[in-house]
Amino acid sequence: MRLELGLVLIKDVQFSDTTKLENGVLTVNKEELIKLISEDEHLASVEVDIAKPGESVRITPVKDVVEPRVKVEGPGGIFPGILSKVDIVGSGKTNVLKGMTVMTTGKIVGFQEGIIDMKGPGADFTPFSKTINLVLKCAPVEGLKQHDHEKAVRFAGFKAAAYLAETAKSLTPDTVEVFQTDPFLEGIKKYPNLPKVAYVQMLQTQGLLHDTYVYGVDAKQIVPTILYPTEIMDGAIVSGNCVSACDKNTSYHQMNNPAVHDLYAAHGKTLNFVGTIITNENVYLADKERSSNWTAKLAEYFGLDGVIISQEGFGNPDTDLIMNTRKIEEKGIKTVIITDEYAGRDGASQSLADAHPSANAVVTGGNANEIIHLPKLDKVIGTLDYIDIIAGGFGGSLNEDGSITVELQAITGATNEIGFNKMSAKGY
């Protein structure tokens, strides 16, 4: 499967009476966009704002982040099974509005939503302080159930991203990146002397607003399966969860997964990147056993020499991570895991809730319990009402002067477990 990603570089985003993209400047008809999002009867009101790098702006509580993409050529469309039909995606041509995002915020859905600062010390811990962000503030109708609230806000982000991306459908990209994965047997013949490596991506599926969707299907309902990595780039996997903001994979993270990109960079050179195994993170032990058994079975079936395994979340999912690692290693397949740590504010506590000697190759995204002080910023998009109760916050997190004291856990993307940031640690 071959996918061309055409990167259309966004230099600025402005409001105007017309939605169009010219010379890297995206103009947005705010009223037209609000009308589109407001078609959802579950939303009482929608506001739209723009936040740019370096501005004294705080966005909170952040629900999801989405990168606008549009299918230019090939089967399917972006967000298959959600906004588009369920055709297989991951091939053809897709244009990307690179350098900007769509963010959703507003009244809290679940307590594990996050903070994004566009300047100051907090900006150093989130990748989204470097992007131009079009932010939707969505207010639900009175009495709306939490799951319906979450879905309405989630769909608002997807609809807005698709609406904006249409402006780039007929444009010539600034740069084009090509990604290709051959059918398994063809790839083996092409690279007979390279180690066969796959990416095992664990998807957050604990329920209670801890959900991930694959082609529109709640991933709690799946057994581990194979995806072409390019399917992920085309929006086959999207976020629907409210896990701690620091290690939550937003929909933007899914489409820009650095583990996938880095494996492609090494493909055909030092390794044969044969594909992606997706698996879930369940609550009950029997479900954990089933999924980890199937993941190890697939790794063995494809005769892999090594895998990279990433998780999402912490605590309960640590058990799934270690089960996958142990069982795959028992098949004689080398593993490297990507995670983050909850090692206490002093860094002295056990980092993961589970462990095993086979998990001896670890990449960490940093300690989510580290405390950070965020000074008051001039503008808030969203509301500060929930700072004391979001994950990483505590009684007194919001100070009288408007500054905030929280754990890194509260900052969106701070310790991301697919490696989409700059935090890590060294072992000695």
Phi, psi for 389 (deg, rounded to 5): -115, -5
Q: Is residue 76 part of a domain?
A: yes
- Cα distance between residue 127 and residue 87, in whole Å: 31
Both tokens of residue 284? 């009950």
Confidence (pTM): 0.96
For residue 127, cis peptide bond before it (omega within 30 degrees of 0): no
Q: Which of 62, 70, 108, 242 is catalytic?
A: 242
Q: Is residue 419 part of a domain?
A: no
Q: Is residue 424 part of a domain?
A: no
Q: Is residue 423 part of a domain?
A: no
Q: Is residue 155 part of a domain?
A: yes
Which pLDDT tens digit goes with each residue over 343-361?
999 988 998 999 999 999 9
Q: Is residue 72 part of a domain?
A: yes
Strands (DSSP E) contained in 67-122 are: 69-73, 92-98, 100-106, 114-117
DSSP designation for 355 = -
Helix or strand run (H / E) with residue 34: helix 30-37
- Cα distance between residue 426 and residue 271, in whole Å: 25
Structural domain boundaries, residue 75? 2-410
Q: Structurally, how many domains does the chain consist of?
A: 1
Q: Name the CA dihedral angle for 256, 213, 123, 69, rounded to a multiple of 10 degrees.
A: 50
Residue 424 has pLDDT above 90, yes or no: no
Which pLDDT tens digit goes with each residue over 186-236?
999 999 999 999 999 999 999 888 999 999 999 999 999 999 999 999 999
Sign, Cα dihedral of 169, 153, 103, 308:
negative
When pLDDT is averaged across residues 385-406 and rounded to a whole number, the result is 95
Residue with tokens 């962000």: 133
Average pLDDT of the chain is 96
In 10 A of CB 358, how many CB atoms? Answer: 16
Residue 100 has pLDDT above 80, yes or no: yes
Confidence category of residue 290, pLDDT binned at 50, 70, 90? very high
Give me the pLDDT at residue 16, please.
97
Residues 6 or more apart in contact with residue 189 via CB below 8 angstroms:
none
Q: Is residue 426 part of a domain?
A: no
When pLDDT is averaged across residues 360-389 and rounded to a whole number, the result is 96
Residue 121: C-alpha distances to residues 70, 125, 247, 408 (Å): 34, 8, 18, 11
Which pLDDT tens digit goes with each residue over 125-165?
999 999 999 999 999 999 999 999 999 999 999 999 999 99
Residue 180: C-alpha distances to residues 87, 261, 414 (Å): 19, 11, 30
Q: Is residue 421 part of a domain?
A: no
- Told to judge if 242 belongs to the known catalytic residues of this protein, a careful annotator would answer yes
DSSP designation for 398 = B
Confidence category of residue 249, pLDDT binned at 50, 70, 90? very high
Confidence category of residue 428, pLDDT binned at 50, 70, 90? low
